[in-house]
Structure 1
Amino acid sequence: MKMTEEHVAHFCLSLPGAREDYKWGGVRVFSIARNKMFALQNLRGDSLAFKVDKELFLGHVDRPGIHPAPYLARAQWIIMNTPYPLGADELRGLLQRSHQLVVSKLPKRTQIGLLLED
């Protein structure tokens, strides 16, 4: 099963500490700790970008429909257009991993309550 833009938004907001903002004239930004982004959705609903593990970045962008995210690729962000080229379970797993990658960079005291059990 494929996820829709609204499924993605609902899932992102279900992650610990997640909130959403609208920035840059048409981007839905999912973040934690006030301003630490972990996913971006174009308001036209046609693209989704998020962070991936550094060692898996090249493997992801080799896949059909997945590309380095403009301006964010150096930080290992990927982007994909709708319909998303990944199944729902894989996409949820990658979004959750993006959230946790960002959480892991926060100060230890801020991480409390945001870390998920493996």
Structure 2
Amino acid sequence: MTREEINGFCASLRAATHVVQWGGADVWKVGGKVFAIVGWDSDAVVFKASDMAFEVLRHEEGIRPAPYMASRGLKWLQHYGLPNGRAGGLSDAALQAHITASYDMVFAGLPKKKQAELRA
């Protein structure tokens, strides 16, 4: 997926908000909490992962623990382009599923009152 396609997908999620931060990265939030970062390091996308997804995916080509975040013990992954244009990492559908899972985990961590406001 291109940066524009990833941003379009993130924009389609309920109550998602967008800000540009950290040197021009597209930062996607729900309830003020980050669920995806696009372009923080080139056209890579960073997303929160479950413990199991983190352990399985971090060893896949085109995916690595997200710089800065994973070094602080957070379970975030970075999906990035491979050198020489080689394909790797997740399919578009799988990437969308992981971004959605990140969104869902962040949403579930919000206070119940905030969740109710965002659902309205």
Following superposition, which runs of at least 4 residues in structure 1 exceed 4 angstroms of deviation?
Answer: none
Whether 1:77 and 2:81 are equivalent positions in the alignment is no
Counterpart for residue 84 of structure 2: none
Give the 5 Å matches for 1:30-69: 30-33=28-31, 35-42=32-39, 45-69=42-66
Counterpart for residue 24 of structure 2: 26
TM-score, structure 1 as length reference: 0.85
- Aligned CA RMSD, in angstroms, stands at 1.9
TM-score, structure 2 as length reference: 0.83
- AA aligned opposite 1:96: T
- AA aligned opposite 1:9: N
Q: Which runs of 5+ in 2 are unaligned?
A: 82-86
SS at match of 1:112: helix
Deviation digits for residues 42-73 of structure 1, max 9, x if unmatched?
A: 16752110101022211110111100001211
Deviation digits for residues 18-60 of structure 1, max 9, x if unmatched?
A: 0110112221100011x20000011675211010102221111
Question: Contact 1:16 / 1:113 at 8 angstroms: preserved in 2?
Answer: no
Question: Contact 2:61 / 2:88 at 8 angstroms: preserved in 1?
Answer: no
